[in-house]
Amino acid sequence: MKGVGRVKGTGRRLVQKVSATRAFARVAPYVIPALDRTVHRLTGGKVLLSARMLPGAILTATGARTGLPRRTPLACLPEESGTWLLIGSNFGRTGHPSWTANLLKNPAAEISWRGRDIPVRARLLSGDERARAWAEVREIWPPYAAYQARVTREIRIFRLEARS
């Protein structure tokens, strides 16, 4: 995976250790997205604070219930093929994040990636394809394994492909 985080070594391991805790899972969903949205807006779509650890994008998807556009800052993993993986970990909380239901109902979406808005189509991964992606994302960000261990649901992984 190219373009993975800028924080290296001990600092990265410390952040990974903290992010795997239940306390982090209680606080992070309220703090990190709000900070990311604000910084993203102020920098014209060029900066996400959380991207210091993992690459990040802003997903704009159509709400499954409302039909309205929903903007969500997310960690993503860019792939060499020009696609992106999105992981519905919800910081290891019980339910699936709402953006995953939005993509299941309306797979046509858009991501803001490095200051560019790119139309994409989302596809939920399953079977061997999901298993390979899951191994890759755990290698890049080990706390995903802790998130999965805390929940009984299977964490959803989507592949986003640019559409014309």
Torsions phi, psi for 115 (to 5 deg): 85, 0
All structural domains of the chain with their residue ranges: 9-162
**Who wins on pLDDT, 140 or 23?**
140
> Rounded to an integer, what distance in angstroms lies between the CA atom of residue 83 and that of residue 132?
15
What is the CATH number that goes with domain 9-162? 2.30.110.10
Q: Is the pLDDT of residue 135 over 90?
A: yes
Q: Which of 163, 158, 164, 16 is nearest to 79 (CA)?
A: 158
Instruction: Please tell me whether the overall predicted TM-score, pTM, comes out greater than 0.85 for this model.
Output: no
**Who wins on pLDDT, 49 or 109?**
109
- The letter for the amino acid at 15 is V
Q: Which of 149, 146, 158 is nearest to 76 (CA)?
A: 158
Query: Given CA atoms 148, 64, 33, 42 in this order, what sign does their dihedral have?
Result: positive
